[in-house]
Amino acid sequence: MYRLLRPIIIKEFRQIRRDPTSLGMLLVLPTALIIFVGYALNFDVKHVPLVIFDQSKTAESRELLEKFKRTDLFDYKFDVQGYEEIEQLFLHRQATIAVVVPKAYADDVLAGRDVRIQLLVDGSDGNTGGQAVANASRITAEYSTRLAVDAIARMGGRSYIPIDFQPRVWYNPDLLSRQFLVPGLIGFILVLTAVISTSMTVVREKERGTMEQIMVSPLRPIQVIMGKTLPYLLISLLGATAILILGYVLFDIHVRGSLIVLYGGILLIVLGALGQGLLVSTVTDSQQVAFLISVFSSLLPSFLLSGFIFPVSSMPLVLQLLSNLAVNKFFLVVVRGVMLKGVGIDVVWPQFVYMGIFAALMLGISTRRMQKRAA
Amino acid sequence: MHEGSTMKRSLQIIREIIRKEFYQIRQDRRMMMVSIMAPILQVIFLGYAATTDIKYSNMVVCDNDKSVESRALIQRFTNSHYFILRYDVNLPDDVDAYIDGAKASVALIIPSGFGEKILQRRTTPVQMVFDGADANTASILLGYATQIVAAYSQSVLLDTPLMMQKGKPARILPEPRVWYNPDLKSQDFMVPGVVALVLMIITMTLTSLGIVKEKEIGTLEQLLVTPIRPFELLIGKLVPFVIIGAIDMSIVLAIARYWFEVPLLGSLPLLFGLSGLFILTTLGLGLFISTIAKSQQQAMLIAQFFFFMPFMFLSGFAFPIANMPKIIQAFTFVIPLRYFLEIVRGIFLKGAGLHELWPQATALAGIGIVIFSLSVLRFRKTLE
């Protein structure tokens, strides 16, 4: 078996070597990307620019607004006298959220009447807007509770807070988005390089007519497939290792769980992605089409559909079902689980099973299609 | 007279090349299918996928009290659209498995004695665990959970007999109002982004690979020995891509407007005009790639790693540019997608006009001119 495989592996490697630019890109670019992403990307929505429109201008309103000025969630930037000014600031993206205190605020508070505080948000960036609203509402609600506590004390009652809320954020207490994105990036890059590099190999041979030559050789389709995938598997494993080391050195992201489980997951996802790439290349006749299909079947789905950035649970049901086709979704659970949470195979085995089935299906179908071609 | 006849000749040649290109494109049925169908499917599916809305996050509850009070607190969570009660466990330690396995994003743990303490007016702890692996979701959920618990605490305080007698203090209620995007649907923000992304990918790929392919096969050299001049060849080759790009552009913009019902507050002609400008820059980039790549594989890798991925991450498509370090923010100024996103989102959501968008339009035009001249120079060099 190996004797037969060797020549085709050697040939594939030789082809890779003959094009050092491509090899360099396959190895260097993923690592460059991780540095970029690690430093550049940030969902952390602290220091959201805040504008205040205080119509009450009383000690009471200042006490409330102090809460907004005193947090690093918001950067208090402007004091305005009207809604038009807020709109101008929003349009020029100088402010994202505005707190508007009504004129009768102090009178209402002193009289014990409920008051509504307007929180105006520039919603054109749904994400930042959503976070800003959640945080501002929370500050207001906490302040309101505080008022009730103080009121009891003033009335001579025993002052206490009914619920001592103890939120704990596991795995990533500072809520750094880097901790969330870098492990995800491993899967993203692995899938892309694997799908793209293999999707081209077979089509290239078809375009040049060398595929027929391989077909008349004594090689069986399965051997051709293996010969075509093994070199890229190796490249992918090297790339993944580089990312892990960089993540540790630059961003202090440790692998809390077992490396063996992690590499097991990497192996499965790469096999699946290589199979997907081969499948693309067996159904297309030109590299152009192969590239388009692989971009649209791997780049965009792994970016948008897999939970890499956007939570799958918030998607419509149909899309949640469809997201199962983005094999990266399962790898993400594994890589985040093992790296951040330190979980073992007892937790992530369902994902392993799925990735295994995916890889077997993809490689199996490509082999079948190859056989048909040979026959 | 002489001038006129050369120009006529040129136009004829260009027309012939365009006809040949279109003939080739028509021959390649799959190519046609992919370049028209793929953008449609991608925009439709991914438009739904790209949502940062946090709704109905799975919650696991460990209610060791099972009292009226504990159920009232849980109900406040489930009434809030943000949390959906998925799992019930009996031991606090049992929640670990759900968070570890990413089955639930939050766990609410109510200790026994909760209801009793609430009634006796004593402080009682309530624990909540957030899955920090998804930092973004966790921080939004943390905000809402804190708000829900604070509101519950407040209602308990306001219920004391003392308050009943002496008059309740005021409640201060947050009243969020979202401008430009009242439902805070990230879809309205994201769909224009997906449109821009898909347009960029399709136009850049078609151009770059289309030209490199001829280089690989050697047909570009054959054209050299004919009396066709480089600029005639270039125009003839680019026009079909411009047309396909324009068709794709109209389709995806229509999907954004009519399928996703993203409100179009600004002017449609302006949107089309500036989208056309954007497509010219992406065609220029595609041409540029084709002049530096030796093979289609190289062209793909270059497109993928030097253009698609950095553009996706750094253009402000999903990650706010304002949050990036200064150096990288400076780098985003050379990314055409960045300007186009601001244009599309501005025209769609804010009704921005040329008055607001001229800096972006100028930047796009500038990048377009630079990249086109650079590619044309390189293209002529490759040919000569």
Give A210-258 pLDDT, tens digit per residue: 777 777 777 777 777 777 788 888 888 888 888 888 888 888 888 888 9
Whether A284 and B30 lie within 8 Å, measured CB to CB? yes
Supply the pLDDT for residue A113: 86
Q: Which domains does chain B have, with CATH numbers?
A: 2-51+185-383 (no CATH), 57-166 (3.40.1710.10)
Cβ–Cβ < 8 Å for A336, A183:
yes
Mean pLDDT rounded to a whole number for chain B: 83
Instruction: Please give the share of chain B, as a percent, with pLDDT higher than 90.
Output: 18
Of B131-135, B223-227, B300-304, the poorest mean pLDDT is in B223-227
* Distance in angstroms between the alpha carbons of the first and the last residue of chain B: 29
What integer is the mean pLDDT of B165-189? Answer: 68
* Partner-chain residue, chosen from B128, B173, B184, that has the shortest CB–CB distance to A123: B184
- Phi, psi angles (nearest 5°) of residue A119: -115, 105
pLDDT one-digit tens code per residue, B53-69? 667 788 999 999 999 99
Which of A37, A58, A121, A137 best probes binding to B when mutated, by most B CB atoms within 10 angstroms?
A137
- Decide if A198 contacts A229 (C-beta within 8 A): yes
CB atoms within 10 A of CB A84: 9
Kindly state the percentage of chain A with pLDDT values over 70. Answer: 94
CA–CA gap between residue B345 and residue B337 (Å, rounded):
12
Cβ contact, residue pair A130, B52, below 8 Å: yes
Could you give the 3-state DSSP secondary structure of residue A23? helix
Q: Give φ, ψ of B270 to 5 degrees.
A: -65, -45
Mean pLDDT of B221-239: 77
Q: What is the largest CA-CA distance in chain A?
A: 96
CA gap B118, A163 in Å, rounded: 8
Check CB contact under 8 Å for A347 and B101: yes
pLDDT at residue A42 in the model? 63
Question: Is A104 near chain B, with CB under 8 Å?
Answer: no
| Backbone dihedral angles phi then psi of residue A171, each to the nearest 5 degrees | 70, -30
Tokens of B2: 């002489």
Tens of pLDDT, residue by residue over B272-284, are 999 989 988 998 9
Residue B384: pLDDT above 80? no
Residue A289 has pLDDT above 50, yes or no: yes
State the alpha helices, DSSP H only, in chain B. 2-27, 29-49, 68-78, 95-100, 114-120, 135-158, 161-166, 186-217, 219-224, 230-254, 268-292, 296-302, 309-314, 326-331, 336-345, 354-383
CB nearest to B297's CB, from A22, A284, A292: A22
Q: Which of residues 175-234 of A touch B (CB under 8 A)?
A: 175-177, 179-180, 192, 196-197, 200, 204
Residue B173 C-alpha from the chain's centroid: 34
* Residue B218: predicted pLDDT: 75
Residue B249 has pLDDT above 90, yes or no: no
Instruction: Provide the strand spans (E) within chain A.
Output: 48-54, 74-79, 97-101, 115-122, 163-170
The complex's ipTM works out to 0.71
pLDDT of amino acid B336: 92
Radius of gyration of chain A (CA): 28
Question: Is A117 within 8 Å of chain B by CB?
Answer: yes
* pLDDT at site B304: 82
What's the CATH fold of domain A48-154?
abc type-2 transporter like fold (3.40.1710)
Chain A nearest-CA residue for B54: A314
Asked if the C-beta of A149 comes within 8 angstroms of chain B's C-beta atoms, the answer is yes
User: DSSP characters for A110-156?
Assistant: HHT--EEEEEEEETTSHHHHHHHHHHHHHHHHHHHHHHHHHHHHHTT
CB atoms within 10 A of CB B50: 25
- Determine contact, residues A339/A253, Cβ cutoff 8 Å: yes
Domain ranges for chain A: 2-41+176-374, 48-154
Interface of B with A in 55-74 (CB under 8 A): 55-58, 73
pLDDT of residue A112 exceeding 50, the answer is yes
- pLDDT at position A266 is 93
Chain B residues closer than 8 Å to A113 by CB? 170
Adjacent-strand bridge partners of B107: B60, B129
Query: Which stretch of A230-234, A314-318, B68-72, B124-128 has the lowest confidence by average pLDDT?
Result: A314-318
Nearest CB to A315 within list B48, B151, B188:
B48
- In 3D, which of A140, A144, A141 has the Cα closest to residue A113? A144
pLDDT in tens, A336-357: 888 888 888 888 899 999 999 9
For A125, the closest of B58, B99, B189 (CB atoms) is B189
- B161 in contact with A at a CB cutoff of 8 Å? no
Q: How far is CA B314 from CA A339, B328, B329, B338, in A?
A: 25, 8, 8, 8
Query: Could you tell me the pLDDT band of residue A124, with boundaries at 50, 70 and 90?
Result: low
pLDDT at B341 over 80: yes
* B contact residues 219-248, partner A, Cβ 8 Å cutoff: none
- Is there a contact between B138 and A175 (Cβ–Cβ < 8 Å)? yes
The residue with tokens 């990314």 is B335
CB of B177 less than 8 A from some CB of A: yes
Nearest to A288 among B186, B213, B345 (CB): B213
- Mean pLDDT for the stretch of residues A50-74: 91
Mean pLDDT of B142-158: 88
Q: Indicate yes or no: CB of A25 within 8 angstroms of CB of B302.
A: yes
Instruction: Provide the shortest C-alpha distance from residue B38 to chain A (in Å).
Output: 7
Interface test with A, best of B119, B120, B136, B177 (most A CBs within 10 A): B136
Distance, CA of B47 to CA of B270 (rounded, Å): 23
Residue of B154, B166, B202, B306 best to disrupt the A interface, most CBs of A under 10 A = B154
| Ranges A35-39, A184-188, B267-271: which has the least confidence | A35-39
pLDDT at A374 over 60: no
* Residue B137 contacts A where some CB pair is shorter than 8 Å: yes
Mean pLDDT, all residues of chain A: 82
- Mean pLDDT across the stretch B351-364? 88
In the structure, what pLDDT confidence band is assigned to residue B1 with cuts at 50, 70 and 90?
A: very low
Answer yes or no: is pLDDT of B244 > 80: yes
Query: Is pLDDT above 50 for A85?
Result: yes
Q: Between B123, B157, B296, which is nearest A148 by CB?
A: B157
Cα distance between residue A100 and residue A136, in whole Å: 12
B276 touches chain A (CB under 8 A): no
What pLDDT, on a 0 to 100 scale, did the predictor assign at position B52? Answer: 61
What is the percent of chain A with per-residue pLDDT over 90, rounded to a whole number?
A: 16
**B128, two tokens:** 């909540």
Q: What is the CA radius of gyration of chain B?
A: 29
